[in-house]
Amino acid sequence: MKFKYFIFFAFVFLLSCTEVKYYKWERSSQFYLSDDNCATKKFLIANRITKDKDLEQSESLDYLFRGLERQGSIATINFLLDTLKKLNFDVDLIELPIANINNLDDTLSADSAQYILKSNNACWLITLDYFKAFFDNNIQENRQETSQDYGGTTIYYASRKGVYRAIMRIYDRNGLVRHFDFSQEPIFNATGNTKAEALKNIFKTQDFTVDWGYSFARSVIKQLSPPQMTTVRGIYANTNKDFKKAFKLLKIEDIDNAKAIYEKYIDNDNDKIILAKTLYNLAIVYEFMGQLDKSLELANQSYQLYPLDIVKSYLNYLKVKLDS
């Protein structure tokens, strides 16, 4: 029995000596679109589905007096305007002729786009050229008893299928650079205490259309601005007091002094585990310095010296980052 306790405490002690402290390091991704000949970084946005120039004013209009395409396109443009401004871009809304909704290839000519951009001292022009919203008239409803926990109330359900499609194009001073064509057929559901109430709720289609407009705009933004790559790196910090100190320095982004501490252990041939952890920690430092090739080299050396799982995961992360 005493021997079992000894093994248990020895195991706990070993774990405490090799504790890995995790540190999340994030860096913002840059906007994918670039134009070396355009210094303003300015966007122009045109809604070719509706002529509403003042979107804030048009949003206050009664939804009953405009079609689904109109409200959906306005929601899409509003989302783009707000998001690009949050990304610190200069954005102006401009008015262009209404698109021919019967011609899905109704694009601006390269000359027209070039003229519009130069006239407004802008880099990119985004045009929303098509927005179609349609709902299936076949409304399905059924009545369902809730559980006794809720008093056995009768709830009525209604559902209908929506059909959405939208096309957006982006131009730079050389012409068309991106074409976005999204479509979706979502099923919407609503409930009510009566059949009439459930049907009334399912006919409130403007909310569905506005939400889909936001979703479409969000998809465009995601493709323009690739998701920020973040990772939680495990840093060996409790091997000795120097490693603890280096970890604290990394947390306050004092990279140079942390690097100097780890470099003192590079020639430690007596303990290959300490050396492997040193090389791994140093690889993280070089990543923070933006030297990914050097980081990958050190991480490989660490794994070859002592194959730790945390180093293997980090190697995979570095390879993905270098390829992206």
Architecture, CATH, for domain 42-224: 2-Layer Sandwich (3.30)
3-state secondary structure labels for all residues of the chain: CHHHHHHHHHHHHHHHHCCEEEEEECCCCCCCCCCCCCCCCEEEEEECCCCCCCHHHHHCCCHHHCCHHHHHHHHHHHHHHHHHHHCCCEEEEECCCCCCCCCCCCCCCHHHHHHHHHHCCCCEEEEEEEEEEEECCCCEEEEEECCHHHCCCEEEEEEEEEEEEEEEEEEECCEEEEEEEEEECCEEEEEECCHHHHHHHHCCHHHHHHHHHHHHHHHHHHHHCCCCCCEEEEEECCCCHHHHHHHHHHHCCCHHHHHHHHHCCCCCCCCHHHHHHHHHHHHHHHHHCCCHHHHHHHHHHHHHHCCCHHHHHHHHHHHHHHHC
Q: Fold for domain 232-323?
A: 1.25.40
Q: Is the entire prediction scored with pTM above 0.75?
A: no
Q: Can you give the pLDDT at residue 147? A: 46
Domain map of the chain by residue range?
42-224, 232-323
> pLDDT tens digit string along 18-51?
456 655 544 434 455 555 556 677 899 999 987 6
Per-residue pLDDT at 310 exceeds 50: yes
> pLDDT tens digit string along 196-205?
888 888 877 6
Confidence of residue 143 (pLDDT cuts 50, 70, 90): low
Q: Can you give the pLDDT at residue 51? A: 66
More confident position, 164 or 60: 164
Tally the residues of the chain: 324
> pLDDT tens digit string along 194-235?
888 888 888 776 678 888 898 899 888 877 765 555 566 788
Q: Can you give the pLDDT at residue 321? A: 73
Q: Can you give the pLDDT at residue 28? A: 39
122: alpha, beta or left, given left = phi > 0 and alpha = psi -120 to 50? beta
